[in-house]
Amino acid sequence: MTAVDPKLEANYNISAARGGLDDVMQAWSASSAAFREQADASLDCAYGSGERERIDIFRCGASAAPLYVYLHGGYWQRGDKSLYSFIAAPFLEAGVDVAIVGYPLCPQVSMTDLVGKVRQAIGWLYHNAGQLGVNRERINLSGHSAGGHLTAMMVCCDWPDFDEKLPRELLKTAIPFSGLYQLAPLLQTSISDALHLTSTEVSKLSPASLQPRVQIPLLTIVGGAETAEFFRQTDLLVESWSGLLPQIDRHVEPDVDHIDLIDRLASSDSQIFQRIINWLQ
């Protein structure tokens, strides 16, 4: 077991700090199931052989629409893409296609393997966009919490090196929010128990310690009521990548914590939604 630092544990262990998460997840699940029933969707598209290596596609019906690709959170060890279908609704209404990516979880896979699977998912999406009815030239990547970390890691990917048939500027924009960009503090929390991170992985999988490999605009987002560590993580990435990308912006969504930020994302009149819509290319 990990030797826990109480201050870091309080900052990062969201489920322990906030009650009622089961009710929130049940509400998201119900809203998502209802949305899938009426959406123009291709569900559980397999990008790999694993049970969780699936993508849900939701189409808005507009020609050559931008594609908003979403990576869910859960500290790389919890969560499922099916919980988050509901966030696609306002994007479709705004003329944006949505892809929600599932991925294998720790400890069934290592963090290194998980990052590789997400790269595989994005590459598969690019190669198969035509038959899915989405635009591979307008892929905008986003994610929350662990998904924010994975989004930043995709910005650090040399796509032609990963797959010679992929363009270097595969992504048009990146929008990580409430992400973990320096993994070392997690080693002093109970969250790390399922991750089995090695010191090498902490170094190689901390985006704030890496350099971006694609030249795209980056919009970072954090909830105004989040803990000090999530603000620090966001500021660290902005500082580390300052001058390395054509544009970096930071948005604080007022008055919401780590969890309620997702409901704001699914609301067309929220600041976060408007910032993202205006950011897409």
Tally of CB atoms within 10 A around 228: 10
Is 0.95 surpassed by the pTM of this model?
A: yes
Amino acid letter for position 139: I
- Would you state the pLDDT for residue 16? 78
pLDDT band (50, 70, 90) for residue 224:
very high
**pLDDT at 246 (0 to 100):** 97
> Regarding the domain with residue range 6-279, which homologous superfamily does it belong to in the CATH classification?
Alpha/Beta hydrolase fold, catalytic domain (3.40.50.1820)
pLDDT at 58: 98
Bridge partners (DSSP) of residue 223 are 253
pLDDT score at 15 = 81
User: Can you give the pLDDT at residue 186?
Assistant: 97
Under the banding of pLDDT at 50, 70 and 90, the label for residue 26 is: very high
Domain boundaries, the chain: 6-279
Summarised one tens digit per residue, pLDDT across range 153-173 is: 999 999 999 999 999 999 999
> Coil, strand, or helix at residue 186?
helix
What's the confidence (pLDDT) of residue 40?
A: 98
pLDDT at 1: 55
In this predicted model, what pLDDT tens digit does every residue of 196-223 receive, in sequence order? 999 999 999 999 999 999 999 999 999 9
**pLDDT tens, residue by residue, 141-157:** 999 999 999 999 999 99
The pLDDT tens digits for 49-83 are 999 999 999 999 999 999 999 999 999 999 999 99
Contact 207, 155 (CB under 8 A): yes
- Give the per-residue pLDDT at 18: 80
Mean pLDDT of the chain: 97
Q: Tell me the Cα Rg of the chain.
A: 17
The C-alpha angle 125, 34, 22, rounded to 5 degrees, equals 90
Which DSSP helix (H) or strand (E) runs through 43? strand 41-46
Q: CA-CA distance, 147 to 274, in Å (whole number)? A: 20
Which residue matches tokens 């991170």?
Answer: 197
Q: Is the pLDDT of residue 2 over 70?
A: no
Pair type for strands 173-177 and 218-223: parallel
